[in-house]
């Protein structure tokens, strides 16, 4: 079919018939279908000859509208389902972090800063640890003497 | 792409929020924030993990100060304030001054079984302040340390 002006709705009976046949064969494009709908909705003698086709068009448009509504509801359900799943994942991640991260963050550390300098030598650090323990007196007797021994 | 990045950030935030946060309820713990690491008259040790397992400890953090009169006054203040929360205390006074104090505290929260300990020994110029966490008691620590001598 030749390209015609978008707003032209004046078709001859023959042209409209050809277009309708093409429509029922499923060979019309969007523009041609638009012209069909536009023309059949007009009140003119030619379109009145296609009363049955008007009824078919009405039925199809109702059906298409119904299908469209169904699709919208389906898309909405899919969207809601995605939100719920993502919320569940977020909450699960939070609980995982609460229980697992402290467990896996346990590391072995052995660090000393001696008079401003960092010491990573484990042997030296453990020697100092033992000295610190030795300096602590748990007996509770002769404290002053032991204090003076340790710190002098 | 932007949406994906936002979602990833949201996911990470929810994970981090769920993590345990350390609660500094004891005043003496503020001295262990690293302020003495660069000090010329201090020795700071930090041990965690296998090295102190023999002592049934999970954390050992000590500060040894020499020639530090002002810092020792601060140590005395915080240790005396922490005494109020101790469940077990052993104190040693000399000439009305606190010379040594060994304290045990409750775990940091209900879910933890690790008791907390502060051991403190000081004179006018020198001091040792130790903070420890472990699944042990003050009596057991004393026993272990004495056996080590």
Is B92 near chain A, with CB under 8 Å?
yes
Please report whether residue B114 resides in a domain.
yes
Distance CA A146, CA B48 (A): 29
Phi-psi region of B49 (alpha: psi -120 to 50; beta: other; left: phi over 0): left
Residue A44, CA distances (Å) to A11, A39, A55, A113 in order: 11, 9, 16, 99
Q: Kindly determine whether residue A136 and residue B128, on different chains, have CB atoms separated by under 8 Å.
A: yes
Q: Kindly determine whether residue B99 and residue A137, on different chains, have CB atoms separated by under 8 Å.
A: no
Structural domain boundaries, residue A24:
1-49
Please report whether residue A94 resides in a domain.
yes
Greater model confidence, B19 or A30:
A30
Say what percent of chain A tops pLDDT 70.
74
Please report whether residue A54 resides in a domain.
no
Q: What is the pTM of this model?
A: 0.54
Segment 124-143 of chain B within 8 Å of chain A by CB: 125-126, 128, 130, 142
Dump pLDDT digits (tens) for A56-112. Answer: 777 776 666 777 777 888 888 888 898 999 999 999 988 887 776 655 555 678 889
ipTM score here?
0.73
Structural domain boundaries, residue B59:
26-148
Q: Kindly determine whether residue B48 and residue A107, on different chains, have CB atoms separated by under 8 Å.
A: yes
* Same domain (yes/no): A101, A122: no
Q: What does the radius of gyration of chain A's CA atoms come to, in whole angstroms?
A: 44
Query: Which pLDDT does position B96 carry in this prediction?
Result: 79
Residue A64, CA distances (Å) to A30, A49, A61 in order: 14, 24, 5
């Amino acid at each position: 079919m030749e390209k015609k002006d978008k707003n032209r709705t004046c078709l001859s009976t023959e042209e409209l018939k050809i277009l309708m046949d093409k429509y029922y064969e499923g060979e019309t494009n969007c523009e041609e279908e638009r012209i069909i709908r536009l023309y059949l909705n007009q009140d003119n003698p030619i379109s009145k000859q296609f009363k049955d086709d008007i009824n078919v068009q009405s039925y199809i448009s109702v059906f298409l509208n119904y299908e469209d509504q169904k699709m919208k509801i389906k898309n909405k359900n899919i969207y809601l389902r995605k939100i719920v799943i993502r919320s569940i994942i977020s909450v699960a991640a939070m609980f995982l972090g609460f229980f697992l991260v402290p467990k896996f963050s346990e590391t072995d550390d052995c660090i000393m800063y001696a008079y401003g300098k960092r010491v990573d030598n484990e042997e030296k650090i453990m020697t100092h640890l033992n000295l610190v323990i030795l300096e602590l007196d748990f007996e509770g007797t002769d404290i002053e003497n032991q204090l003076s021994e340790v710190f002098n | 792409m932007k949406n994906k990045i936002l979602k990833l950030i949201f996911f990470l935030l929810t994970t981090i929020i769920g993590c345990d946060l350390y609660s500094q309820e004891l005043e003496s713990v503020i001295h262990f924030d690293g302020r003495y690491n660069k000090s010329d008259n201090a020795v700071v040790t930090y041990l965690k993990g296998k090295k102190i397992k023999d002592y049934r400890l999970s954390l050992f953090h000590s500060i040894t100060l020499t020639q530090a009169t002002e810092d020792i006054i601060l140590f005395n203040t915080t240790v005396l304030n922490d005494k109020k929360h101790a469940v077990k205390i052993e104190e040693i006074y000399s000439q009305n001054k606190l010379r040594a104090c060994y304290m045990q505290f409750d775990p940091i929260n209900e879910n933890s079984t690790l008791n907390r300990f502060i051991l403190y020994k000081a004179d006018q110029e020198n001091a040792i302040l130790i903070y420890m966490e472990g699944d042990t008691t003050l009596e057991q620590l004393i026993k272990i340390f004495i056996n080590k001598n």
